[in-house]
Amino acid sequence: MLAMRPRWRKVLADLWENKARSLLVIVSIAVGVFSVGMIAGAYVIISHDMGASYASANPANIEMRTAPFSDELLAALEQVEGVEAAEGRCFTSVRVRTGPDSWTSLNLVSVADYRESQINLLVPLEGAAEPGRREVLLERNGLEKIGAAVGDVLEFELPDGTVRSMPVTGIVLDQSSNAGDFLASPLAYVSFDTLVWLHQPETYNRLYVTVSSDSNDEAYIRQVADAVNDRLERSRCQVYRTHVNKTNEHPLQSTVQAILGVLGALGVLIVLLSSSLIANTLSALLSQHQRHIGVMKLVGGRTFQIFGMYIVLILVYGMIALLIAIPLGGQAAYALAQLIADQMNFNLLGYRIVPLAFLIQTVIALGVPLASGFVPVNNGSRATVLQAVSGYNPGAVQSGWIDRLTSQAAERLTWISRPLLIALRNTFRRKGRLALTLFTLTMGGAIFVAVFNVRSALNNYLDSIGHYFLADVALNFDRPYRRNEIEDVALRIPGVEAIEGWTYASAEVLRPDDTVEVNLQILAPPAGSTLVSPNLLSGRWIEPGDEKVITVSEGMLEHYPDLQPGDTLRLKIAGQEDEWTVVGLFKFVGVQGLVGYASYETISDLLTQPNQAFTYRIVTDQHNYAYQDQMAATIDRHFRDLGYHVSLAEAGSDSLDTAAESLDILITFLLIMALLTATVGSMGLAGTMSMNVLDRTREIGVMRSIGAVDWVVMRTVIIEGLIIGLLSWFMGCIVAVPITSLLSAIIGQTVFATPLDFTYTVTGVAIWLGLVLVLSALASVLPARNAARLTIREVLAYE
């Protein structure tokens, strides 16, 4: 024990003997370090592994949905300049049974030769690496939805209604095929020679191409895509849709990184908040240690020696916090990265400590407490012996405007009790400490409220997107049927009130040199449809009688920033090029690609399918989800029984639910961060209340000596905590406005490629009010109990 010099023994004793205070400081540092470590670690892991994992599958740089094509054309495409490799696959949309009466849609993918496959590689996870004849491999992402395992036999319903059974012989990971598409159906893999048994032609309808030169240069990839497109068209193979991807960048990488960036910003904010808590606690510690400092100076301690002792104390706090936060942060970083990887369907390269996160955590754990503790420690260690020993502090109690205000109020409002007045005045006595506490708690509250606002804005946004999907049931066929025929059948089903036949087409927006600027998915409801309620940004909607007229989603502005209603775009639809007039721009989910609306009449004529439609929107007599789901099943069975080739019948809100599910993860993380800030805030309040009680030990003794019972002492402290809580709530509600605005803009832009409309909801405000009152009361109870426990003798002898 004696090996340690007395001054360092004192540092150790300061650390150990006031465990509650040490714990408060350590936890407040650790929370910030943990959150930044978690986010930074996840960011680094995701940044690296997402791209690396994606690239390891050798993803197609160009993906085209086409009319059926053969091996001969594929061989010709490999000769196109810039093409490194080209592969064809066949996608067949089927349904798989998930229960006695439930089915879900699924894409059966057939690959000509799994062993020779070079693009969009599959990673075998369990069982067979390739399917045998009449066997199926399931892609990992669909497992939960289908509820199958290796060895199970699944029933598939083919487009023509035939049901085939195939055993699941393996689970694979396909990181590339559905990358970035939350709404895509699950995938399953069969061999090419199974296709005939599945009543499908042995041709391809999906083309995957890798480029020979820089596979991360989007301009180059587009150039090759144009050349491939030309070659396909020359062979009269129609291209419905083209996607280009960089090899080393997952399509959602920037989105995920942006969201991690938002979480990271919140982490930095937590650090900032915890630093104000540290400053507060150290300031109180130094103030409580004034006498110790005086004694140390009296026996020869110099300012730098005392400064050094407290700096070492802070560093020890930081080191302990670091020891806690590094492993926790590392684990949480990997868990967060794993969660994102599972959602985005890629593999992580294994658990590891991220050196950058470690470095950031170390810098924060040691630097932030040092920075925030510097001023209080510097001031404290500079205190003169006289101040320190006599406790001479003329500024400790001041008579400010609050006192005058409360005095005036007390004169008029006689019902305000003296203890309440004491609590009210006490609140404003240590203004610096109050300001730091309020700052912490206000920011915690503001973020909490803002997260609820953003959640509401996201829901509002989804609702507004739902206005494009107003039907209760969407019914798709795998071939066009006459509209009046389908309408007749549907309207005979009890519960069906209305039905509209829609059609759709893929369009290419052409540049002046005939190359493709961008693909556009055109939906074509009948003019005057009541099942679309668009959110128009400018111009008007499609009206009856419109010809070669289109409305486009706002994402088109990225390609044509000056696009205005009245301008024209040159579109190529079903092989026909024409000038189309844009009459309106509407708000839509940007990341789902560009969408346009045109009239059914125009598009069906172009497709030479007049009065026919693939897809129908049905309105039922009730609109809740359960009924919609039930009606979807009824309608599906009804049409199948009549021999129609139904490919899908689903509740209208199904797609939105999938989108909402993926947003829930984001909201959960935002809420976790909000709760962390609230935790730091309430820890700050608890610390402040403890310090206030310690500062006022003597006053409490005096209160006791003139008759204050336990409850009165406790009430004074608790009311003070509640006043601070309420003040922070009020300020938090105001500060939430800019934070909501900022978060809405960032999250909207990254998730939907469009800013969210500002929304302010009372839900968050009300929950935070309840929470802050509970937290304030809890934060004050322990200090209040300590205050009430002090005996007069202890208090008045308190030195």
Site for another protein, rule CB under 8 A: 2, 5-7, 9-10, 13-14, 17, 291-292, 294-305, 382, 384-386, 389, 394, 799
**Pairwise CA distance, residues 45 & 255, whole Å:** 15
Return the number of the residue (13 or 435) whose C-beta is nearest another protein. 13
Contact 393, 387 (CB under 8 A): yes
Nearer to another protein, 4 or 363 (CB): 4
Residues with Cβ within 8 Å of residue 3, at least 6 apart in sequence = none
Backbone angles phi, psi at 364, to 5 degrees: -70, -45
CB of 762 or CB of 797, closer to another protein:
797
User: Distance (Å, rounded) from C-alpha 599 to C-alpha 524?
Assistant: 5
Closest CB 390 distance from another protein, rounded Å:
9
> Nearest distance from residue 386's CB to another protein, in Å?
5
Q: Which two tokens stand for residue 293?
A: 């400092």
Q: At closest approach, how far in Å is the CB of 385 from another protein?
A: 5
Which one, 18 or 749, has the nearer CB to another protein?
Answer: 18
Smallest distance from another protein to CB 799, Å: 6
In terms of DSSP H, where are the helices of 383-475?
385-390, 401-412, 418-427, 431-466
The least CB distance from residue 292 to another protein, in Å, is 6
Q: Please, which residue, 388 or 499, has the CB nearer to another protein? A: 388
The string of DSSP codes covering 98-131 is -SSS-EEEEEEEEES-TTT--SS-EEEEEE-SS-
Q: Is 616 exposed, middle or buried (0-12, 13-18, 19+ CB in 10 A)?
A: buried
CB of 705 to another protein, least distance (A): 21
DSSP-derived 3-state class of residue 741 = helix
| Minimum gap (Å) between residue 745 Cβ and another protein | 52
Q: Give the span between the Cα atoms of 132 and 116, in whole angstroms.
A: 15
Rounding to the nearest 10 degrees, give the CA dihedral for residues 547, 549, 551, 555.
140
Angle, helices 418-427 vs 710-752, to 10°: value is: 40
Name 649's bridge partners: 475
CB of 276 to another protein, least distance (A): 27
Least distance from another protein to the Cβ atom of residue 783, Å: 21
Q: Which residue carries 């509600």 as its tokens?
A: 733
Count other C-beta atoms under 10 Å from residue 510's C-beta.
17
Encoding tokens for residue 264? 């990271």
Identity of the residue, 14 or 226, whose beta carbon is nearer to another protein in the bound complex = 14
Q: Which is nearer to another protein, 13 or 766 (CB)?
A: 13
- Tokens standing for residue 665: 């993860």
Q: How far is the CB of 394 from another protein (least distance, A)?
A: 7
**Rounded to the nearest whole angstrom, what is the least distance from the CB of residue 293 to another protein in the complex?**
10
Burial label, 389 (beta-carbon count in 10 A; 0-12, 13-18, 19+): middle
Which residue, 14 or 654, is less far from another protein as judged by CB?
14
Indicate the residue among 90 and 313 with the shorter CB distance to another protein. 313
**Is-contact 438 747, C-beta < 8 A?**
no
Torsion region of 19: left, alpha or beta (phi above 0 gives left; psi -120 to 50 gives alpha):
alpha
DSSP secondary structure code for residue 529 in this structure = -
According to DSSP, the residues that pair with 619 across neighbouring strands are: 498
**CB of 302 or CB of 479, closer to another protein:** 302
CB of 352 to another protein, least distance (A): 42
Chain center to CA of 175 = 20
User: Helix, strand or coil for residue 313?
Assistant: helix
Name which of 41 and 301 has its Cβ closer to another protein: 301
Nearer CB in complex with another protein: 398/658:
398
